[in-house]
Amino acid sequence: MTRRTLFGAAALAITAAKAARTEWHPKLGALGHYTPANLDFIRREGFRNMIISEGGAIDPAHVTDEQLASIKSAIAASGVQVSALQINGSHIDADPAERERENTKFAKYIEVAGKLGVPYIGTQSGKDESKPFRTQVDEIVRTYNEKYFPLCQKYNVRILWEPWPGGANIATGPVGFEALLKAFNNSPYVGLQYDPSHEVWQFIDPIQTARDFVDHIYDIHLKDTEIDWHTLRWTGTNPPDHKEWWRYRLPGLGSIDWPAFFSVFQKSGFQGAMTIEHEDEYYGCCSGGDFSEDYKEGFRMAHKYLRQYVPERESA
Q: What is the pLDDT of residue 23?
A: 84
Q: What is the pLDDT of residue 285?
A: 82
In this predicted structure, the answer to whether residue 15 has a pLDDT above a threshold of 60 is no
Band (5; pLDDT cuts 50, 70, 90)? low
In this predicted structure, the answer to whether residue 179 has a pLDDT above a threshold of 80 is yes
In this predicted structure, the answer to whether residue 316 has a pLDDT above a threshold of 90 is no
CA distance linking residue 68 with residue 290, whole number of Å: 19
221-270 per-position pLDDT tens digit: 999 999 999 999 999 999 999 999 999 999 999 999 999 999 999 999 99
> Which residue type is seen at 192?
L
Q: What is the pLDDT of residue 288?
A: 80
CA distance linking residue 261 with residue 254, whole number of Å: 13
The yes or no reply on domain 24-306 and CATH 3.20.20.150 is yes
The pLDDT of 159-163, averaged and rounded, is 98
pTM of the model: 0.92
In this predicted structure, the answer to whether residue 3 has a pLDDT above a threshold of 80 is no
* 113-117, 135-139, 145-149, 239-243: least confident range: 239-243
87-97 per-position pLDDT tens digit: 999 999 999 99
CA distance linking residue 309 with residue 316, whole number of Å: 18
CA distance linking residue 53 with residue 73, whole number of Å: 18
Band (286; pLDDT cuts 50, 70, 90)? confident
Band (291; pLDDT cuts 50, 70, 90)? very high
Q: What is the pLDDT of residue 274?
A: 98
Burial of 314 (C-beta count, 10 Å sphere; 0-12/13-18/19+)? exposed
CA distance linking residue 225 with residue 257, whole number of Å: 11
Q: What is the pLDDT of residue 8?
A: 53
